[in-house]
Structure 1
Amino acid sequence: MTDLDSYKQQLKELYGSRTNYDHEKDTRHPLEAKILLEFVTLHSGHKILDVATGTGLVAIPAAEKVGSEGYVIGIDITPGMLHQARLKIAAARLQNIELIEADAEYFNFSDNSFDVIFCCEAIVLFPDIIAILKKWYRFLKPGGFMAFTCPPETAYMASLQQKICAKVLGVSLPHILEPLGTPEKCRNLLNQAGFRDIEIKIEPSGRYRPLRDSRLSETLIKINFKGNPLLSTLSPEQLNQLQVEYKAEMEQLATDRGIWEDTTKLFVRARK
């Protein structure tokens, strides 16, 4: 396995700690995996690649759909999540699915290998999204489909995070919503990568969180560590100032019902 840089190591640790991923409070992961699977018609005998497969929320039902003549490969850097997936695969007695512990950014498959490539929840975590899309394009058979989910620019209070980082650090801090974020941006990247027949649907969702919800206070740092060396070099005082400003801004947004967190997702499909 390729040596992980500090960003990839943080990702590995963050997701490795989520031992209850499939059943987290307020989770939409299983539902979004189901919607993504339904966005592409799978047939018996299809060969599928599931990138950042996690606990197999896409890979396992895909393996059931393609049958014994088909095959699914799931790839992920997180051994803890792959362990959960293997337990589910064993329980379902599936023989047509393989899990690979590797960094999908560097792992290669032969050109024209897959009928469908899925990536649920994780495309925004790749440091170079256009490069990964071009790799997936190569991996697909002619006429094959690629499908992924991503958050819109409104998600996770992204504009608030940008405002605070600019105020405290004096910089515009890239975050996971920058390269995609709108249907237009998605289409632009997919066109650059060579894809055609692009379809995008928006599934609105959101929830109120209590002002003191610990996940709100952690969101700023967790979301914005993406491949950016700046946050890893901040002093304790700077990190504290970021959190102080973030909490102050959230208090102004609070209502009687809590703070609204937009969890809308874009579901994107395209063909080689």
Structure 2
Amino acid sequence: MADELVHYEVHQGIATITLDSPHNRNALSARLRAGLRAGLTEANRDDSVRIVVLTHTGPVFCSGMDLKEAGDPATNQQGVSEFPKILEQIWTSPKPVVGRIAGPARAGGVGIVAACDIAVAVQSATFAFSEVRIGVVPAVISVTVLPRMLPRAAHELFLTGETFDAERAVSAGLINSAVAPADLDGETRRYTDMLALGGPNALAATKQMLRQPRRATLAEDFADMLELSARHFASEEGQEGIAAFRQKRTASWVPWRR
């Protein structure tokens, strides 16, 4: 539909979710949040989807919550309760999520960037935790941002609200790569091509492993990891991957194999 604020399409196993509300800098309005949640739900439901790319139209990736709606207590409360669910959908998605960022991100937009497994931005993109400058706290987004960023950088940038560039975002751990605008699609494709080579179940299990807390002792950790490793070695997917390696062929799960 022409009035959709979020577009969804699938091609060769990649679901692309595009924020398309440039008139308000892709702010997280109620309509945009609903569209984003629907796109993420559909991507995780569709077995043909292997990877999710989250991107945008217009010069700004996402400016954070829609402050025009924040004045309405009912709408604001809905946003406060709904936005964590969006971040959780991205963070816990069994399918890798790649952020393609062609412009600035602020506040909640930075939380979305951090929730992605991999984030690629143009060198001209800027970021800021601007919440303190309007008298609020970057509380919700801290759940996804703090595990990504170096602690010293997080303290500085959360407290000052200073705008920082993509190169600083890379060094701080917020994004993976900063490239020239002409290289953004190629760098995004480089990551999606690599991710497509991984087994779907192995990728989902690896994502879960990366976010789970460590056990109290090394012995407990090793026991858990040995069980996880053995289970996937013995699985149908694991056996197919080993066979494909030995036979020097592409594994059956690679979207463009046929």
TM-score after normalising by structure 2? 0.25
TM-score after normalising by structure 1? 0.25
Higher relative contact order at CA 8 Å, sep ≥6: structure 1 or structure 2?
Answer: 1
Choose between structure 1 and 2: higher strand proportion. Answer: 1
